[in-house]
Amino acid sequence: MQFLFASAAPTQVRLTARIVNQDDTPDDLDAAVIDGAKAARFIGRAGQVFEHFAMDDGALVRLGLAGAGEVEAEARAANVEKAGGALAAKYVASGETDMILDLGRADLSGEEAARAMLGLRLRSWRYDALRTKLSTEKKVSLETVHVVNAPEGTQAAWESASAIAEGVEFTKRLTTLPANILYPESFVALCEEAFEGTGAEITVLDEPAMEALGMGALLGVGQGSRRESRLLAIRWNGGKGGERPTAVVGKGVTFDTGGISLKPPPGMEDMKWDMGGAGAVAGGMLALVKRKAKANVVAVMGLVENMPDGNAQRPGDIVTTMSGQTVEVLNTDAEGRLVLCDALHWAQETFSPARIVDFATLTGAMIIALGHEHGGLFANDDDLADQLIKAGRATGDTLWRMPIGPAYDKLIDSPIADIKNVGPRPAGSITAAQFLGRFIQKDTPWAHCDIAGTVWSDKPGPTHEKGATGWGARLIDRMISDNFEQ
């Protein structure tokens, strides 16, 4: 979708959309519009939409009003974004190719206006490339948005917001693709294409390279698949020379059958999005790079496919991680922590990060605890936890902090190895985080985000269609921009 800033509304476009405040009907509207809105009980509540049709000199014109809620609302920016998303949901497949977006009627700042545009763009994203048949009324038609009456600062704010949108869209695309198209090698190829010419440095480790480094945990997960595993690192040096980077690490299980500990068939198709952590990291990194963030950041993604063939890892196997610690694999469906422990150790050894945050669709227990409204946050550092929570509130990628601590260690102690990869049924998400914590080097600030319930949705949301949500990409960008840019 293309956004064009214009000094005046193009006369040939018949669809005009306005963002309006709650209980504030613009006084320049026709009485028919005002009365119609009142009859439809439109009051400008955040995300509420009203549409009016009229004839103008013999031509049909359409007017859409989207509510931004109350001007003084604490969630003003989110509400404005919701208004933009509501317009997208209404008009992306409306048959209109062009829309005039009037931003001059809601007392918006430049940042808020850009948030409205961001909501419109994000909610418009769909992936129809694999469809061969789609009814006309369901096809995306909206191509160009002509922005008029933009407040001062909107264009500058949109430059950054559009880069963020590109990152979120990349996350959505990766999460949406099926496992016969997206697997470790093709994930790498898509990232290489997306980051080409940006100045980011890309490093790829194949299986022999990882074997030489002793990554027995990550390689053990992928040994039952015909698809080779990969470790992907993307580095952006936009900050001060010599300053230690922030590391973001993602779990990238491109399909998870559970391995020998096979998952039940119903719903297994959803496991194409078990790479959602790596998808969030890739998209967040793309947003940072595209807007030339003034920070040093490195993204590391462990990419595997977990399959149950004759060479697959067995329950009871013991693997040696890159850190030298041994792990008793009691359940091959607790594979994400095996991928992450080697990726986390390699990231610390290679880049000596100042702090490290990992993202993973790690446990079903997280969905039981928090549903689909929040990601779970586990951290050994209060400042880092607070930074992530604040960034989540600002972007809508919200986190809820959960406990970790030595009291949980005994639950994952193994009788014959250093650690076992699952604990008992209680505290399942906590013991998974506790497992990862054993691979964090002393005094390194670390946070773990369990996002199993947030990367995919069975219903549309304010900034996403049913399916991939893009969750995490904006969180990463905001956490960096708020705390670690120069």
Task: Pick the catalytic residue from 263, 294, 390, 393.
Answer: 263
Pick the catalytic residue from 82, 235, 337, 478: 337
Structural contact between residues 167 and 173, judged by C-beta atoms closer than 8 angstroms? no
Tokens representing 301 are 């993604």
Are the CB atoms for 195 and 260 separated by under 8 Å? no
Say how far apart CA 148 and CA 98 lie, in whole Å: 13
Amino acid type, 269: E
Phi, psi of 214 (to 5 degrees): 85, 30
CA distance 481 to 245: 13
Q: Do 318 and 416 touch, CB atoms closer than 8 A?
A: yes
| CA–CA dist 393, 361 (Å, integer) | 20
User: Has 90 been annotated as catalytic?
Assistant: no
Query: What separation, in Å, do the N-terminal and C-terminal C-alpha atoms of the chain show?
Result: 31
Q: Can you say how many angstroms the Cα of residue 253 is from the centroid of all Cα atoms in its chain?
A: 16
Residues 169 and 125 sit within 8 Å (Cβ to Cβ): yes
Active site residue 337: yes
Q: Which of the residues are catalytic?
A: 263, 337
